[in-house]
Amino acid sequence: MSTKKDKFTAEDHYYMKHAINLAAERNGFTGLNPSVGCVIVKNNKILSIGQTGFNGRPHAETVAIKSCKKKDLKGSTIYVTMEPCTHYGKTPPCTNLIIKSKIKKVIYSVDDIDIRTKNKAYSYLKSKKIISLCGLLKVKTKKIYKKYFEHKNKGKPYIISKLACSNDYFTSTKKKFITNEYSRNVSHLFRYYCDAILVSSKTANADNAILSCRLPGLEEFSPRRLIIDRDLKIKKNSPIINDKRRKSTIIFHHSKAKKKIDYIKSKGVKLYYVDLDVSGRLNVKKIFSKAYSFGISSIIVEGGKSLTRALLKNKLINEFYLFKSNKNLKKLGNNNIYNFINEINNFFKRKENIDTFLNGDEIIRYF
């Protein structure tokens, strides 16, 4: 909600841009909660800043307010990228803390879509004699909350899928890698930004996959591992069920093989039994619903053509990225996906070449 004649000053724009940068910096690391940026200002001086905590708490407003002296907060203005919450959840509402702090003005960029809070902060704060304005730089801010709006509206994680191929559209060869190291680094950035990575057991077994983020300094942000394995064919010696991250691994299956189930559980890996769909595959909609219940808001899918096609059929992919080498494999290549990429083109309305410096490789985004 916003008033029709809200006017924002150049200073308002400056401080909100700062808040937006704070939100963008933490985006992707706040679980199911939105990444919010907050700036508190008084007499044209920044008193404090705040960001939503990792995994969603504490809220940005709480961080910023508690970083200030109480006497300084009286009469100040707080800039927030999203409507402050008005409901009691695992923490009290931020609006209560704002009122208690005697903040004079609240300027926020976009309304929340959580039904517990949506469009409630404006009137509530106004009833407490606090000036409340909404809509500042909302177009820019909405880009940050694209994934949040998607998973909050649909109750499923935001799904990004990717494939790598040669210039002549082959996805495998005797060589280990199709694309160059620069493309692979970008691929690891996807893993860094997403809550989880999803592959099939076939992919995990073939690559002896670790499925971690291996960019220096970002290893601790490796995603949770989700494995689609209908008949529990994951190898017993797979890193997936043996390395130090095995407790952050979830295998979705439809098997009654008690010995294999007991063995995998003994390793500390989580197993979840999933019904089959009409095609005999694991029901991917139920898999994503279950993943969402675990607090997973975004997933990068690296499961190959077969899994990607199944997700497309169920209209579950939000963005698709094709990592394309500038080299032709010709007779050395296997598994040509030229026709499949035509399916991708028909499914998505738009595509764009990502402007990157990949030493000959290119990335095409479909959305």
- Which residues are annotated as catalytic? 61
SS3 305: helix
Are the CB atoms for 83 and 60 separated by under 8 Å? no
Q: What is the distance between the alpha carbons of residues 353 and 367, in angstroms, rounded to a whole number?
A: 12
CA distances from 57 to 11, 22, 144, 189, 221 (A): 29, 15, 18, 24, 17
Residue closest to 27 by CA, chosen among 192, 186, 138, 152: 192
Distance CA 319, CA 149 (A): 15
Distance of CA 220 to the CA centre of its chain: 16
Nearest to 64 by CA among 25, 109, 94: 94
Burial state string for 39-53 with b = 16 or more CB within 10 A and e = fewer than 16: bbbbeeeebbbbbbb
> What is the Cα 321 distance to its own chain's centre?
15
Angle at which helix 338-347 crosses helix 304-313, to 10 degrees, equals 30
Q: How many residues does the chain have?
A: 367
Rounded to the nearest 5 percent, the helix, strand and coil shares of the chain are 35, 25, 40
Q: Which sign does the torsion angle of CA 241, 306, 180, 186 carry?
A: negative
Q: Where are the beta strands (DSSP E) in the chain?
A: 37-42, 45-51, 77-82, 105-110, 131-134, 158-165, 170-172, 196-200, 224-228, 249-253, 270-273, 298-301, 319-324, 334-336, 351-354, 362-366
Q: How far apart are CA 273 and CA 364, in angstroms?
A: 35
